[in-house]
């Protein structure tokens, strides 16, 4: 018996992409469930998945998705389009603010790490 490698190589990638798409949808659903909803839920709604060449990706195109997932270190916030920062409730305008950073709220990694059974 001979194995037709060309036939296997021709038929395997679409099967793998279908399998990865099924897995990506499961991870996506869990990521949306685990994602902090905040006031609008827009971060969870921004989550998408894609499959290319047997590799799946789940994520968001919102820059803050990374900040929520990984947290942020303490940092200085300076005005960009004004001379000072001011917000409702502030005592006065500020030239800069020392932000204490934010605690990580992982939602993508926990969704990926869940043990799953093969279909």
Phi, psi for residue 36 in degrees, rounded to 5:
-60, 135
Asked whether the beta carbons of 43 and 68 are under 8 A apart, the reply is: yes
Q: What is the reported pTM?
A: 0.81
What are the tens digits of pLDDT across the range 62-115? 999 999 999 999 999 999 999 999 999 999 999 999 999 999 999 999 999 998
Domain limits of the chain?
5-70+104-113
pLDDT-derived band of residue 7, with 50, 70 and 90 as boundaries?
confident
Using the predicted structure, report yes or no on whether residue 119 has a pLDDT greater than 70: no
User: What is the C-alpha separation between 108 and 32, in angstroms, rounded?
Assistant: 9
Q: What is the pLDDT of the chain when averaged over all its residues?
A: 93
Percent of the chain with pLDDT over 70: 98
């Amino acid at each position: 018996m001979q194995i037709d490698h060309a036939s296997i190589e021709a038929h395997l990638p679409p099967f793998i992409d279908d399998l990865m798409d099924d897995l990506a949808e499961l991870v996506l659903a869990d990521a949306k469930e685990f994602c902090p909803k905040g006031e609008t839920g827009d971060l969870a709604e921004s989550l998408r998945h894609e499959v290319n060449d047997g590799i799946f990706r789940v994520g968001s195109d919102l820059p803050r998705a990374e900040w929520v997932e990984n947290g942020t270190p303490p940092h200085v916030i300076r005005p960009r389009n004004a001379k000072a920062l001011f917000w409702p409730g502030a005592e006065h305008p500020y030239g800069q603010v020392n932000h204490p950073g934010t605690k990580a709220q992982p939602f993508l990694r926990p969704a990926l790490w869940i043990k799953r059974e093969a279909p």
